[in-house]
Amino acid sequence: MMKSTTFSINWNDFLKGLLISVLAPVLIILYNTVSTGSFDIDWKQVLTAGASAGLAYIIKNFFTNDTSAAIKLIEKQGGQIKDAEGNNITSK
């Protein structure tokens, strides 16, 4: 699939956001079950966490694009990006 550009999202972004919306509540349910020892579910908390996580993912993808595109722009402007060891990171 094509990657979305800045200020746009595609179906892949939407589907990944939907997956995040499902996984976040599952993790909350598991955490609450393990920490309390009971299977009491606060559905409002679960749905809020799922919606928030999915929406946050989609918003993040709307305002950002491919990392290599950002690196190319920095290189075009004459800048360099270094990793933790001091090695140059280049676009692929």
Q: What pLDDT, on a 0 to 100 scale, did the predictor assign at position 66?
A: 64
Q: What pLDDT, on a 0 to 100 scale, did the predictor assign at position 9?
A: 84
Higher model confidence: residue 68 or residue 37? 37
Q: What pLDDT, on a 0 to 100 scale, did the predictor assign at position 67?
A: 65
- Within a domain: 92: no
- Within a domain: 15: yes
Residue 46 is which amino acid? Answer: V
Q: Residue 42, Cα to own-chain centre: how many angstroms?
A: 25
Per-residue pLDDT, averaged over 51-75, amounts to 80
- Within a domain: 85: no
Q: What pLDDT, on a 0 to 100 scale, did the predictor assign at position 90?
A: 72
Domain range for 52 is 11-66
pTM score above 0.85: no
pLDDT at position 34 over 70: yes
What is the number of structural domains in the chain? 1
- Within a domain: 24: yes
